[in-house]
Copies of this chain bind each other. A is one copy, B any other.
């Protein structure tokens, strides 16, 4: 079966680059929120998140930065969406997109949007 022809001929390459990036960003957020993390484990967790979501369809690259609030009284915290700064790079045919999540001070929540296309 030609999956692309059967299931994706109703949208353009640009739309699919946005679609696949949106899926992976929503997935990443909900998969990893809650994971215990501290300053020592932060980097390995960032790499593990990048590696696992790089496996998803149309994903070329994933960049993850976890912003730990300076919190010296606890030895670890649960990863929350507010700490996530992530860029997911997708490619479909000749179209590239960058999907971003970052905490926006003015909104007081982490926003997912299309940073580049």
Copies in the assembly, this chain: 4
Q: Which residues of the other chain, B, contact A56 by a CB distance below 8 angstroms?
A: 36, 76
Pair B3/A114 contact, Cβ less than 8 Å? no
Interface centre among A1, A73, A112 (most CB of B within 10 A): A112
In angstroms, Cα B3 to Cα A31, docked, is: 26
- List the 5 closest A-B pairs by CB distance, nearest first: A22-B22, A48-B48, A26-B26, A26-B27, A23-B26
A31 CB to closest chain B CB, in angstroms? Answer: 4
Asked if A111 contacts B75 (CB within 8 A), the reply is no
Decide: A11 near B117, CB < 8 A? Known: A51-B45, A76-B56. Answer: yes
Q: A117 to chain B: which residues have CB within 8 Å?
A: 10-11
Q: Across the interface, do A29 and B22 meet the contact criterion of CB distance under 8 Å?
A: no
- Can you sample 13 A-B contacts with CB below 8 Å? A15-B15, A18-B22, A26-B26, A27-B30, A30-B31, A30-B34, A31-B35, A36-B56, A38-B55, A40-B51, A44-B47, A44-B48, A78-B80
Once the chains bind, are A111 and B55 in contact (CB under 8 Å)? Answer: no
Asked if A68 is an interface residue, CB under 8 A from chain B, the answer is no
